[in-house]
A and B are shown apart, each in its own frame.
Chain A
Amino acid sequence: MTGAHAVGLPPREADSASASAVKAMQAEGRHSEARERYADLVARHQRRASRIAFHYLRDGAEADEAVQDAFVKAYSHLASFREELPFEVWFTRILINGCLDRIKARTRRERWLVSAPEPSPGQSDFTDRVAGAGPSPEDQVLARERRRKLADALARLPDRQRSVFMLSHYEGCTSREVSALTGLNESTVRVHLFRAIRRLRTLLTDGGQSAASQNSRSAAITGGKRRVHP
Protein backbone atom coordinates (compact mmCIF):
# COMPACT_ATOMS: atom_id res chain seq x y z
CA MET A 1 0.00 0.00 0.00
CA THR A 2 2.58 2.50 1.10
CA GLY A 3 5.22 3.66 -1.31
CA ALA A 4 8.66 2.13 -1.09
CA HIS A 5 10.37 5.20 0.30
CA ALA A 6 7.81 5.48 3.11
CA VAL A 7 8.37 1.95 4.40
CA GLY A 8 9.51 1.92 8.00
CA LEU A 9 8.05 5.33 8.85
CA PRO A 10 5.17 5.71 11.32
CA PRO A 11 1.84 5.92 9.48
CA ARG A 12 1.47 9.68 9.87
CA GLU A 13 4.92 10.46 8.56
CA ALA A 14 4.46 7.91 5.80
CA ASP A 15 1.23 9.62 4.73
CA SER A 16 2.86 13.02 4.69
CA ALA A 17 5.79 11.62 2.71
CA SER A 18 3.37 10.05 0.22
CA ALA A 19 1.47 13.29 -0.15
CA SER A 20 4.71 15.17 -0.77
CA ALA A 21 5.74 12.59 -3.34
CA VAL A 22 2.41 12.96 -5.14
CA LYS A 23 2.85 16.72 -5.07
CA ALA A 24 6.31 16.37 -6.65
CA MET A 25 4.96 14.02 -9.33
CA GLN A 26 2.20 16.46 -10.17
CA ALA A 27 4.76 19.24 -10.51
CA GLU A 28 6.84 17.10 -12.87
CA GLY A 29 3.81 16.21 -14.96
CA ARG A 30 3.85 12.51 -14.08
CA HIS A 31 0.14 12.43 -13.55
CA SER A 32 -0.62 8.76 -13.89
CA GLU A 33 2.08 7.92 -11.32
CA ALA A 34 0.74 10.63 -9.04
CA ARG A 35 -2.73 9.17 -9.30
CA GLU A 36 -1.53 5.68 -8.49
CA ARG A 37 0.34 6.94 -5.48
CA TYR A 38 -2.62 9.00 -4.36
CA ALA A 39 -4.86 5.93 -4.66
CA ASP A 40 -2.87 4.42 -1.77
CA LEU A 41 -3.62 7.45 0.36
CA VAL A 42 -7.29 7.23 -0.57
CA ALA A 43 -7.43 3.57 0.38
CA ARG A 44 -5.82 4.26 3.75
CA HIS A 45 -8.05 7.14 4.72
CA GLN A 46 -11.39 6.58 3.04
CA ARG A 47 -12.97 4.46 5.77
CA ARG A 48 -12.18 6.96 8.47
CA ALA A 49 -13.22 9.81 6.19
CA SER A 50 -16.52 8.11 5.41
CA ARG A 51 -17.19 7.63 9.10
CA ILE A 52 -16.52 11.27 9.91
CA ALA A 53 -18.65 12.46 7.00
CA PHE A 54 -21.47 10.14 8.00
CA HIS A 55 -21.40 11.34 11.61
CA TYR A 56 -21.70 14.89 10.39
CA LEU A 57 -24.26 14.38 7.65
CA ARG A 58 -26.23 11.34 8.88
CA ASP A 59 -26.84 10.28 5.27
CA GLY A 60 -24.85 7.57 3.52
CA ALA A 61 -25.15 8.91 -0.04
CA GLU A 62 -24.33 12.46 0.94
CA ALA A 63 -21.40 11.31 3.07
CA ASP A 64 -20.14 9.33 0.08
CA GLU A 65 -20.26 12.43 -2.11
CA ALA A 66 -18.60 14.56 0.56
CA VAL A 67 -15.72 12.08 0.85
CA GLN A 68 -15.25 11.96 -2.93
CA ASP A 69 -15.30 15.73 -3.15
CA ALA A 70 -12.78 16.03 -0.32
CA PHE A 71 -10.34 13.59 -1.93
CA VAL A 72 -10.63 15.28 -5.31
CA LYS A 73 -10.22 18.70 -3.76
CA ALA A 74 -7.22 17.58 -1.73
CA TYR A 75 -5.58 16.15 -4.87
CA SER A 76 -6.15 19.27 -6.92
CA HIS A 77 -4.88 21.51 -4.08
CA LEU A 78 -1.96 19.33 -3.10
CA ALA A 79 0.39 22.12 -4.16
CA SER A 80 -0.67 24.01 -1.03
CA PHE A 81 0.04 21.06 1.28
CA ARG A 82 2.86 21.65 3.75
CA GLU A 83 4.68 18.61 5.06
CA GLU A 84 4.95 19.91 8.62
CA LEU A 85 1.21 19.29 9.00
CA PRO A 86 0.15 15.63 8.89
CA PHE A 87 -1.71 14.77 5.71
CA GLU A 88 -4.50 13.26 7.81
CA VAL A 89 -5.12 16.53 9.62
CA TRP A 90 -4.94 18.60 6.44
CA PHE A 91 -7.29 16.29 4.59
CA THR A 92 -9.74 15.97 7.52
CA ARG A 93 -9.96 19.73 7.68
CA ILE A 94 -10.97 19.83 4.01
CA LEU A 95 -13.50 17.08 4.65
CA ILE A 96 -15.06 18.73 7.69
CA ASN A 97 -15.35 22.07 5.90
CA GLY A 98 -17.08 20.28 3.02
CA CYS A 99 -19.47 18.58 5.42
CA LEU A 100 -20.28 21.85 7.16
CA ASP A 101 -20.95 23.49 3.78
CA ARG A 102 -23.31 20.65 2.91
CA ILE A 103 -25.13 21.01 6.23
CA LYS A 104 -25.56 24.71 5.56
CA ALA A 105 -26.87 24.04 2.05
CA ARG A 106 -29.21 21.38 3.38
CA THR A 107 -30.56 23.76 6.01
CA ARG A 108 -31.24 26.33 3.31
CA ARG A 109 -32.97 23.70 1.16
CA GLU A 110 -35.09 22.38 4.00
CA ARG A 111 -36.26 25.87 4.77
CA TRP A 112 -38.19 25.76 1.49
CA LEU A 113 -38.86 22.08 0.93
CA VAL A 114 -40.72 19.56 3.00
CA SER A 115 -38.79 16.35 2.68
CA ALA A 116 -40.40 12.94 2.70
CA PRO A 117 -39.64 10.78 5.72
CA GLU A 118 -36.40 9.00 5.08
CA PRO A 119 -35.52 5.48 6.16
CA SER A 120 -33.08 5.34 9.02
CA PRO A 121 -29.47 5.24 7.82
CA GLY A 122 -28.88 1.65 8.81
CA GLN A 123 -32.08 0.39 7.23
CA SER A 124 -31.39 -2.06 4.45
CA ASP A 125 -33.38 -3.70 1.72
CA PHE A 126 -36.43 -5.82 2.51
CA THR A 127 -34.60 -8.89 1.22
CA ASP A 128 -31.82 -8.22 3.71
CA ARG A 129 -34.25 -7.81 6.55
CA VAL A 130 -36.05 -11.11 6.17
CA ALA A 131 -34.74 -14.17 7.94
CA GLY A 132 -30.97 -14.26 7.87
CA ALA A 133 -27.94 -15.12 9.89
CA GLY A 134 -27.57 -11.63 11.41
CA PRO A 135 -28.99 -10.26 14.65
CA SER A 136 -32.67 -10.79 15.38
CA PRO A 137 -35.16 -8.17 14.19
CA GLU A 138 -35.75 -7.15 17.79
CA ASP A 139 -32.04 -6.56 18.36
CA GLN A 140 -31.87 -4.61 15.13
CA VAL A 141 -34.77 -2.43 16.18
CA LEU A 142 -33.26 -1.82 19.59
CA ALA A 143 -29.85 -1.03 18.12
CA ARG A 144 -31.45 1.31 15.62
CA GLU A 145 -33.34 3.04 18.40
CA ARG A 146 -30.19 3.45 20.50
CA ARG A 147 -28.34 4.88 17.52
CA ARG A 148 -31.17 7.22 16.71
CA LYS A 149 -31.23 8.53 20.27
CA LEU A 150 -27.49 9.01 20.28
CA ALA A 151 -27.59 10.79 16.92
CA ASP A 152 -30.45 13.00 18.09
CA ALA A 153 -28.59 13.88 21.26
CA LEU A 154 -25.44 14.64 19.25
CA ALA A 155 -27.44 16.80 16.88
CA ARG A 156 -28.63 18.85 19.84
CA LEU A 157 -25.09 19.72 20.88
CA PRO A 158 -23.63 23.05 19.82
CA ASP A 159 -21.50 22.71 16.66
CA ARG A 160 -18.13 23.01 18.35
CA GLN A 161 -18.96 20.58 21.12
CA ARG A 162 -20.25 18.10 18.55
CA SER A 163 -17.14 18.40 16.39
CA VAL A 164 -14.79 18.06 19.34
CA PHE A 165 -16.68 15.08 20.74
CA MET A 166 -16.83 13.24 17.42
CA LEU A 167 -13.21 13.85 16.56
CA SER A 168 -11.77 13.07 19.96
CA HIS A 169 -14.06 10.30 21.08
CA TYR A 170 -15.14 8.59 17.86
CA GLU A 171 -11.98 9.12 15.86
CA GLY A 172 -9.52 9.04 18.74
CA CYS A 173 -7.87 12.33 17.84
CA THR A 174 -5.69 13.94 20.50
CA SER A 175 -6.46 17.41 21.80
CA ARG A 176 -3.67 18.80 19.68
CA GLU A 177 -5.05 17.19 16.54
CA VAL A 178 -8.55 18.39 17.30
CA SER A 179 -7.05 21.80 17.91
CA ALA A 180 -5.36 21.70 14.50
CA LEU A 181 -8.58 20.52 12.85
CA THR A 182 -10.95 22.97 14.44
CA GLY A 183 -8.73 25.97 15.02
CA LEU A 184 -9.50 25.97 18.74
CA ASN A 185 -6.72 25.91 21.28
CA GLU A 186 -6.06 22.73 23.20
CA SER A 187 -7.51 23.80 26.53
CA THR A 188 -10.68 24.97 24.79
CA VAL A 189 -10.91 21.59 23.09
CA ARG A 190 -10.81 19.88 26.48
CA VAL A 191 -13.46 22.20 27.87
CA HIS A 192 -15.71 21.51 24.87
CA LEU A 193 -15.17 17.78 25.24
CA PHE A 194 -16.10 17.88 28.91
CA ARG A 195 -19.21 19.95 28.24
CA ALA A 196 -20.24 17.75 25.33
CA ILE A 197 -20.00 14.62 27.46
CA ARG A 198 -21.92 16.20 30.33
CA ARG A 199 -24.66 17.40 28.02
CA LEU A 200 -24.89 14.10 26.16
CA ARG A 201 -25.18 12.26 29.44
CA THR A 202 -28.00 14.55 30.46
CA LEU A 203 -29.81 14.22 27.15
CA LEU A 204 -29.54 10.47 26.98
CA THR A 205 -30.23 9.51 30.57
CA ASP A 206 -32.99 11.93 31.49
CA GLY A 207 -34.53 12.53 28.11
CA GLY A 208 -33.44 16.13 27.90
CA GLN A 209 -36.34 18.18 29.16
CA SER A 210 -36.88 16.47 32.49
CA ALA A 211 -33.16 16.61 33.01
CA ALA A 212 -33.05 20.28 32.24
CA SER A 213 -35.74 21.11 34.75
CA GLN A 214 -34.19 18.85 37.34
CA ASN A 215 -30.81 20.31 36.63
CA SER A 216 -32.00 23.83 37.18
CA ARG A 217 -33.80 22.81 40.36
CA SER A 218 -30.75 21.03 41.73
CA ALA A 219 -28.49 23.82 40.66
CA ALA A 220 -30.62 26.27 42.57
CA ILE A 221 -30.26 24.16 45.69
CA THR A 222 -26.66 23.07 45.45
CA GLY A 223 -25.23 26.16 43.85
CA GLY A 224 -24.61 24.70 40.43
CA LYS A 225 -23.37 21.23 41.39
CA ARG A 226 -25.83 18.43 40.76
CA ARG A 227 -25.63 15.76 43.40
CA VAL A 228 -25.79 12.24 42.12
CA HIS A 229 -25.85 10.12 45.24
CA PRO A 230 -29.01 9.32 47.09
Chain B
Amino acid sequence: MFILSPLPRRRHLDDDAIAALWSSRVAASEVSSGPASASADEEAHLRSCAECRSRYDAFAGWLDDARAEAIDEADEIFSAERLGAQQTQILRRLETLERPGRVLAFPRFRHSGTSVRRGPQRWIAAAAVAGLIVGVGAGELLDFRRSMSGASAGHLGSQPLPLGQSARGTLQPVAFSSEDLFLYDDSDAASTSPSVEALQALDALTPRVRDLDQVR
Protein backbone atom coordinates (compact mmCIF):
# COMPACT_ATOMS: atom_id res chain seq x y z
CA MET B 1 0.00 0.00 0.00
CA PHE B 2 2.91 2.31 0.48
CA ILE B 3 3.85 3.84 -2.81
CA LEU B 4 6.48 6.48 -3.23
CA SER B 5 4.93 9.87 -3.55
CA PRO B 6 5.89 12.39 -6.22
CA LEU B 7 7.79 15.48 -5.16
CA PRO B 8 4.92 17.82 -4.27
CA ARG B 9 3.52 15.31 -1.75
CA ARG B 10 6.77 14.50 -0.03
CA ARG B 11 5.99 17.10 2.54
CA HIS B 12 3.46 14.73 4.07
CA LEU B 13 4.51 12.92 7.18
CA ASP B 14 5.53 9.29 7.02
CA ASP B 15 4.72 6.64 9.64
CA ASP B 16 7.95 7.21 11.50
CA ALA B 17 7.32 10.92 11.72
CA ILE B 18 3.82 10.32 13.01
CA ALA B 19 5.09 7.84 15.61
CA ALA B 20 7.77 10.33 16.62
CA LEU B 21 5.17 13.04 16.95
CA TRP B 22 2.98 10.83 19.08
CA SER B 23 5.91 9.89 21.35
CA SER B 24 7.00 13.47 21.70
CA ARG B 25 3.48 14.61 22.55
CA VAL B 26 3.26 11.91 25.21
CA ALA B 27 6.61 13.02 26.55
CA ALA B 28 5.55 16.65 26.46
CA SER B 29 2.49 15.81 28.51
CA GLU B 30 4.75 14.56 31.30
CA VAL B 31 5.53 17.28 33.77
CA SER B 32 9.07 16.13 34.32
CA SER B 33 10.02 15.39 30.75
CA GLY B 34 12.35 17.45 28.64
CA PRO B 35 11.54 19.13 25.35
CA ALA B 36 9.77 17.14 22.68
CA SER B 37 11.99 15.53 20.12
CA ALA B 38 9.74 16.01 17.07
CA SER B 39 10.69 18.97 14.97
CA ALA B 40 8.64 22.14 14.94
CA ASP B 41 8.20 21.77 11.19
CA GLU B 42 6.47 18.44 11.63
CA GLU B 43 4.23 19.86 14.33
CA ALA B 44 3.36 22.75 12.10
CA HIS B 45 2.65 20.46 9.20
CA LEU B 46 0.40 18.30 11.34
CA ARG B 47 -1.59 21.32 12.38
CA SER B 48 -2.02 22.55 8.83
CA CYS B 49 -2.47 19.28 6.89
CA ALA B 50 -5.87 17.66 7.36
CA GLU B 51 -4.74 14.42 5.74
CA CYS B 52 -1.79 14.00 8.08
CA ARG B 53 -3.93 15.00 11.03
CA SER B 54 -6.46 12.31 10.21
CA ARG B 55 -3.67 9.77 9.86
CA TYR B 56 -2.24 10.91 13.17
CA ASP B 57 -5.64 10.56 14.79
CA ALA B 58 -6.00 7.07 13.34
CA PHE B 59 -2.56 6.18 14.66
CA ALA B 60 -3.33 7.51 18.14
CA GLY B 61 -6.70 5.77 18.03
CA TRP B 62 -5.05 2.47 17.13
CA LEU B 63 -2.69 2.79 20.09
CA ASP B 64 -5.54 3.66 22.43
CA ASP B 65 -7.50 0.63 21.17
CA ALA B 66 -4.52 -1.63 21.73
CA ARG B 67 -4.20 -0.31 25.26
CA ALA B 68 -7.89 -0.74 25.98
CA GLU B 69 -7.84 -4.29 24.58
CA ALA B 70 -4.85 -5.25 26.70
CA ILE B 71 -6.33 -3.80 29.87
CA ASP B 72 -9.75 -5.39 29.23
CA GLU B 73 -8.16 -8.76 28.65
CA ALA B 74 -6.26 -8.62 31.94
CA ASP B 75 -9.27 -7.30 33.85
CA GLU B 76 -11.46 -10.08 32.51
CA ILE B 77 -9.05 -12.65 33.88
CA PHE B 78 -8.51 -10.91 37.21
CA SER B 79 -12.07 -10.47 38.37
CA ALA B 80 -12.91 -8.92 41.74
CA GLU B 81 -13.39 -12.40 43.26
CA ARG B 82 -10.06 -13.56 42.02
CA LEU B 83 -8.33 -10.48 43.37
CA GLY B 84 -10.06 -11.04 46.71
CA ALA B 85 -8.81 -14.62 46.81
CA GLN B 86 -5.36 -13.41 45.85
CA GLN B 87 -5.32 -10.90 48.70
CA THR B 88 -6.43 -13.55 51.18
CA GLN B 89 -3.71 -15.85 49.99
CA ILE B 90 -1.08 -13.11 50.27
CA LEU B 91 -2.12 -12.32 53.84
CA ARG B 92 -2.06 -16.00 54.74
CA ARG B 93 1.44 -16.28 53.41
CA LEU B 94 2.51 -13.20 55.34
CA GLU B 95 1.12 -14.73 58.50
CA THR B 96 3.09 -17.90 58.00
CA LEU B 97 6.23 -15.81 57.51
CA GLU B 98 6.03 -14.54 61.07
CA ARG B 99 4.88 -17.74 62.74
CA PRO B 100 7.85 -19.55 64.26
CA GLY B 101 8.56 -22.82 62.54
CA ARG B 102 7.46 -25.99 64.31
CA VAL B 103 10.41 -28.18 65.23
CA LEU B 104 9.98 -31.75 64.11
CA ALA B 105 11.79 -34.52 65.93
CA PHE B 106 14.68 -35.86 63.98
CA PRO B 107 13.94 -39.43 62.82
CA ARG B 108 16.97 -40.77 64.72
CA PHE B 109 15.29 -40.11 68.08
CA ARG B 110 12.21 -42.00 67.07
CA HIS B 111 14.32 -45.00 66.17
CA SER B 112 16.19 -44.92 69.48
CA GLY B 113 12.90 -45.48 71.30
CA THR B 114 12.20 -48.65 69.39
CA SER B 115 15.75 -49.99 69.57
CA VAL B 116 14.91 -51.59 72.96
CA ARG B 117 12.32 -53.73 71.25
CA ARG B 118 14.67 -54.68 68.52
CA GLY B 119 17.07 -56.53 70.92
CA PRO B 120 14.92 -59.70 71.32
CA GLN B 121 14.12 -59.64 67.62
CA ARG B 122 17.80 -59.78 66.83
CA TRP B 123 18.32 -62.70 69.29
CA ILE B 124 15.46 -64.59 67.71
CA ALA B 125 16.95 -64.12 64.28
CA ALA B 126 20.40 -65.20 65.50
CA ALA B 127 18.94 -68.29 67.23
CA ALA B 128 17.05 -69.22 64.08
CA VAL B 129 20.20 -68.96 61.99
CA ALA B 130 22.21 -70.98 64.53
CA GLY B 131 19.49 -73.65 64.67
CA LEU B 132 19.49 -73.90 60.92
CA ILE B 133 23.26 -74.32 60.78
CA VAL B 134 23.25 -76.97 63.54
CA GLY B 135 20.40 -78.81 61.85
CA VAL B 136 22.09 -78.88 58.47
CA GLY B 137 25.39 -79.93 60.06
CA ALA B 138 23.81 -82.77 62.02
CA GLY B 139 21.98 -83.96 58.93
CA GLU B 140 25.19 -84.02 56.94
CA LEU B 141 26.99 -85.91 59.71
CA LEU B 142 24.29 -88.57 59.95
CA ASP B 143 24.24 -89.01 56.23
CA PHE B 144 28.02 -89.34 56.17
CA ARG B 145 28.01 -92.01 58.88
CA ARG B 146 25.29 -93.97 57.11
CA SER B 147 27.17 -93.90 53.83
CA MET B 148 30.37 -94.98 55.59
CA SER B 149 28.69 -98.03 57.19
CA GLY B 150 26.97 -98.98 53.92
CA ALA B 151 30.23 -98.78 51.98
CA SER B 152 32.13 -101.00 54.42
CA ALA B 153 29.39 -103.69 54.26
CA GLY B 154 29.35 -103.69 50.46
CA HIS B 155 33.09 -104.08 50.03
CA LEU B 156 33.55 -107.04 52.34
CA GLY B 157 32.98 -109.74 49.60
CA SER B 158 34.41 -107.94 46.62
CA GLN B 159 37.97 -107.02 47.32
CA PRO B 160 39.85 -106.19 44.08
CA LEU B 161 42.48 -108.65 42.97
CA PRO B 162 46.10 -107.71 42.98
CA LEU B 163 47.39 -106.90 39.51
CA GLY B 164 50.08 -109.56 39.68
CA GLN B 165 47.61 -112.41 39.98
CA SER B 166 45.46 -111.46 37.05
CA ALA B 167 48.49 -111.08 34.80
CA ARG B 168 49.25 -114.74 34.96
CA GLY B 169 46.51 -115.60 32.47
CA THR B 170 44.61 -117.95 34.72
CA LEU B 171 41.07 -117.23 35.42
CA GLN B 172 40.58 -116.72 39.14
CA PRO B 173 37.30 -117.15 40.91
CA VAL B 174 35.65 -113.84 41.63
CA ALA B 175 33.06 -113.35 44.28
CA PHE B 176 29.79 -111.98 42.89
CA SER B 177 26.88 -110.69 44.80
CA SER B 178 23.42 -111.82 43.84
CA GLU B 179 22.77 -108.37 42.30
CA ASP B 180 25.79 -108.69 40.02
CA LEU B 181 24.70 -112.13 38.83
CA PHE B 182 21.26 -110.88 38.07
CA LEU B 183 22.81 -108.15 35.93
CA TYR B 184 24.94 -110.64 34.04
CA ASP B 185 21.94 -112.87 33.45
CA ASP B 186 20.32 -109.96 31.73
CA SER B 187 23.34 -109.42 29.54
CA ASP B 188 23.39 -113.15 28.63
CA ALA B 189 19.78 -112.99 27.64
CA ALA B 190 20.69 -110.08 25.42
CA SER B 191 23.50 -112.04 23.78
CA THR B 192 21.23 -114.97 22.87
CA SER B 193 18.96 -112.65 20.97
CA PRO B 194 19.60 -112.27 17.21
CA SER B 195 23.01 -110.58 17.11
CA VAL B 196 24.65 -108.07 14.85
CA GLU B 197 27.65 -109.26 12.82
CA ALA B 198 29.79 -106.39 13.92
CA LEU B 199 29.41 -107.44 17.56
CA GLN B 200 30.23 -111.12 16.99
CA ALA B 201 33.92 -110.78 17.76
CA LEU B 202 33.25 -108.77 20.88
CA ASP B 203 30.69 -111.29 21.95
CA ALA B 204 33.19 -114.14 21.54
CA LEU B 205 35.64 -112.42 23.89
CA THR B 206 33.06 -111.76 26.59
CA PRO B 207 32.95 -114.45 29.37
CA ARG B 208 29.54 -116.08 30.03
CA VAL B 209 27.89 -116.54 33.39
CA ARG B 210 27.70 -120.24 32.80
CA ASP B 211 31.48 -120.29 32.35
CA LEU B 212 31.82 -118.63 35.68
CA ASP B 213 29.46 -121.18 37.23
CA GLN B 214 31.62 -123.96 35.81
CA VAL B 215 34.72 -122.42 37.31
CA ARG B 216 32.99 -122.38 40.68
Residues of A within 8 A of B (CB): 31, 35, 38-39, 42-43, 46-47, 50-51, 54-55, 60, 63-64, 67-68, 71-72, 75-76, 121-122, 143, 146-147, 150, 168-170, 174-176, 186-187, 190, 193-194, 197-198, 200-201, 214, 218, 221-222, 225-230
**A39/B76 contact (C-beta < 8 A), A190-B37, A226-B16, A228-B14 known:** no
**A197/B90 contact (C-beta < 8 A), A51-B74, A227-B3 known:** no
On whether the beta carbons of B22 and A197 are closer than 8 Å, the reply is yes
What's the Cα separation between A47 and B82 when bound, in Å?
Answer: 10
CB distance from B74 to the nearest CB of A (A): 4
Chain B hits for A170, CB < 8 A: 67, 70-71
Given A38-B94, A194-B19, 4 further pairs, Cβ under 8 A: A226-B2, A227-B3, A227-B4, A228-B2
What's the Cα separation between A43 and B80 when bound, in Å?
Answer: 11
Chain B hits for A186, CB < 8 A: 33-34
On whether the beta carbons of B3 and A230 are closer than 8 Å, the reply is yes
Asked if B124 is at the interface (CB within 8 A of a chain A CB), the reply is no
**A218/B2 contact (C-beta < 8 A), A42-B87, A176-B32, A198-B19 known:** yes
On whether the beta carbons of B23 and A47 are closer than 8 Å, the reply is no
Chain A hits for B20, CB < 8 A: 194
Q: Which of A71, A147, A168, A198 contacts B90 (CB 8 A)?
A: A71
Identify the closest chain A residue to B4 (Cβ): A227
On whether the beta carbons of A55 and B33 are closer than 8 Å, the reply is no
Number of interface residues of B (CB under 8 A): 53
On whether the beta carbons of B86 and A50 are closer than 8 Å, the reply is yes
Identify the closest chain A residue to B95 (Cβ): A35
CB distance from A116 to the nearest CB of B (A): 20
On whether the beta carbons of B16 and A175 are closer than 8 Å, the reply is no
What's the Cα separation between A32 and B77 when bound, in Å?
Answer: 31
12 contacts between A and B (CB under 8 A): A35-B91, A39-B87, A50-B74, A50-B77, A51-B78, A71-B90, A75-B94, A150-B69, A198-B15, A201-B15, A201-B62, A228-B15
Q: Which of B19, B76, B91 contacts A197 (CB 8 A)?
A: B19
Asked if B55 is at the interface (CB within 8 A of a chain A CB), the reply is yes
Q: Interface readout for B2-19 with A: 1 if CB under 8 Å, 0 if not?
A: 111100011011111011
Chain A hits for B63, CB < 8 A: 169, 197
On whether the beta carbons of A121 and B73 are closer than 8 Å, the reply is yes
**A31/B78 contact (C-beta < 8 A), A72-B93, A143-B69 known:** no
On whether the beta carbons of A229 and B12 are closer than 8 Å, the reply is yes
On whether the beta carbons of B70 and A150 are closer than 8 Å, the reply is yes
On whether the beta carbons of B4 and A222 are closer than 8 Å, the reply is yes
On whether the beta carbons of B94 and A54 are closer than 8 Å, the reply is no
On whether the beta carbons of A226 and B14 are closer than 8 Å, the reply is yes
Identify the closest chain B residue to A59 (Cβ): B77
Asked if B103 is at the interface (CB within 8 A of a chain A CB), the reply is no
List which B169-199 residues lie within 8 A (CB) of chain A: none
What's the Cα separation between A64 and B69 when bound, in Å?
Answer: 20
What's the Cα separation between A67 and B93 when bound, in Å?
Answer: 12
On whether the beta carbons of A121 and B77 are closer than 8 Å, the reply is yes
CB distance from B138 to the nearest CB of A (A): 63
Identify the closest chain A residue to B15 (Cβ): A228
Asked if B142 is at the interface (CB within 8 A of a chain A CB), the reply is no
Identify the closest chain B residue to A173 (Cβ): B30
Asked if B39 is at the interface (CB within 8 A of a chain A CB), the reply is no
List which B13-47 residues lie within 8 A (CB) of chain A: 13-16, 18-20, 22-23, 26-27, 30-34, 37
List the 10 closest A-B pairs by CB distance, nearest first.
Answer: A51-B74, A50-B78, A60-B77, A229-B12, A194-B23, A174-B30, A54-B74, A229-B5, A228-B14, A31-B98
On whether the beta carbons of A72 and B5 are closer than 8 Å, the reply is no
On whether the beta carbons of A175 and B27 are closer than 8 Å, the reply is yes
What's the Cα separation between A60 and B90 when bound, in Å?
Answer: 16
On whether the beta carbons of A51 and B94 are closer than 8 Å, the reply is no
What's the Cα separation between A193 and B55 when bound, in Å?
Answer: 19
Identify the closest chain A residue to B68 (Cβ): A170
On whether the beta carbons of B14 and A227 are closer than 8 Å, the reply is yes
On whether the beta carbons of A35 and B94 are closer than 8 Å, the reply is yes
On whether the beta carbons of A68 and B90 are closer than 8 Å, the reply is yes
